[in-house]
Amino acid sequence: MLSNLKKGKLFTGLLLVACTLMAALSMACAQDIEPRAYSNAPVGVNFLIVGYAYTRGGLAFDPSLPVKNPQIETHSTVLAYSRVLDLWGKSAKFQVIAPYTWLSGSADYNGQTVRRVVDGLSDARFRLSVNLYGAPALPPKEFAGYKQDLIIGAGLSASVPSGQYDSTRLVNIGTNRWSFTPEVGASKALGPWTLEVAAAATFYTDNNDFFGGSTRSQDPLYLMQGHVIYSFPRGIWASIDPTYFMGGRSTIDGIQSNDLQENWRVGGTLALPVNARNSIKLFASSGVSARTGNNYDQIGIAWQYRWGGGL
């Protein structure tokens, strides 16, 4: 039997980590890395995540689409599953994400206004991350005594072209191409504060059926993100999340577009435990500057349920 003190540590630690895995809505956008993405968690614990996000402005999941003056709204729901793994003694996390999106609005293309109203599945995403240093794979009983110092991790995400797509329309929910995002990150605990930095690059395959049969290719999109996180009593935490990304210039039928991205975003996250198995996260972000003008605002909420791992 665990002592009451150990039970309290285990409960608080799991709630802190549980909220970190609610990255499903952020991962639906290529420009986002979730705060606490490299936190440790007990091996064998599972997470079911249901969330909702609203965006207004540009197209969040394809910001380099060759349009101007976008006035687009999206409502997205997400169902995701995560599991904590033991990879050769290192803690790791695997996640599957299935979004569904309602999109409406307009944008300018070649001097004409294009309007679109559509709903359907967005591209599914998969992510595998591993903590290379500072976060060993631990069962729940041993995890009760774990205390974070410095964690260094790496991950790989993949987006599958499974979303709704119509090559006769310029604006779509799916992208009709694969993308792969390797990333590295570090997390340092300083009392109730945690400082994090992360870097990633997204590489795209070609879309060979873009808007009437054209071929659209895109340069890699590079991202850097930081997080300043404060942990309150009872497993509550909040963070400020600045993001910078650049690159992603596209080429259509061999003609390079003037859509090089160099954008800043800032956001915030609030995680609230409900009980030992349930937690809620609120998040919001907004574009500070965007070279191409394809900026957007986002707000959302996610609920998470955890089980397994002997808990």
Helix (H) or strand (E) holding 15: helix 4-20
The whole-number pLDDT of residue 18 equals 42
Examine the pLDDT at 7 and tell me if it is beyond 70: no
Six-digit token string for 304:
């998470």
Examine the pLDDT at 15 and tell me if it is beyond 70: no
Q: What is the largest CA-CA distance in the chain?
A: 70
* C-beta separation of 271 from 34 below 8 A: no
Examine the pLDDT at 269 and tell me if it is beyond 80: yes
User: What pLDDT, in 10s, does the model give residues 171-226?
Assistant: 899 999 999 999 999 999 999 999 999 999 999 999 999 988 999 999 999 999 99
Q: How far is CA 167 from CA 226, 248, 252, 256, 301, in A?
A: 37, 21, 14, 20, 32
* C-beta separation of 122 from 99 below 8 A: yes
Distance (Å, rounded) from C-alpha 4 to C-alpha 8? 6
150, exposed or middle or buried, with CB in 10 Å at 0-12, 13-18, 19+?
exposed
Q: What is the pLDDT averaged over residues 100-120?
A: 89
The whole-number pLDDT of residue 32 equals 60
* C-beta separation of 252 from 283 below 8 A: no
* C-beta separation of 221 from 243 below 8 A: no
Distance (Å, rounded) from C-alpha 8 to C-alpha 13? 8
pTM score, whole prediction: 0.87
Examine the pLDDT at 19 and tell me if it is beyond 60: no
Question: What is the domain class of 4-308 according to CATH?
Answer: mainly beta
3-state secondary structure of 18: helix
Better-scored residue on pLDDT, 62 or 29: 62
107: left (phi over 0), alpha (psi -120 to 50) or beta: beta
The whole-number pLDDT of residue 16 equals 45
Sign of CA dihedral 10, 12, 18, 23: negative
Give the chain's mean pLDDT. Answer: 86
Six-digit token string for 259:
């859509």
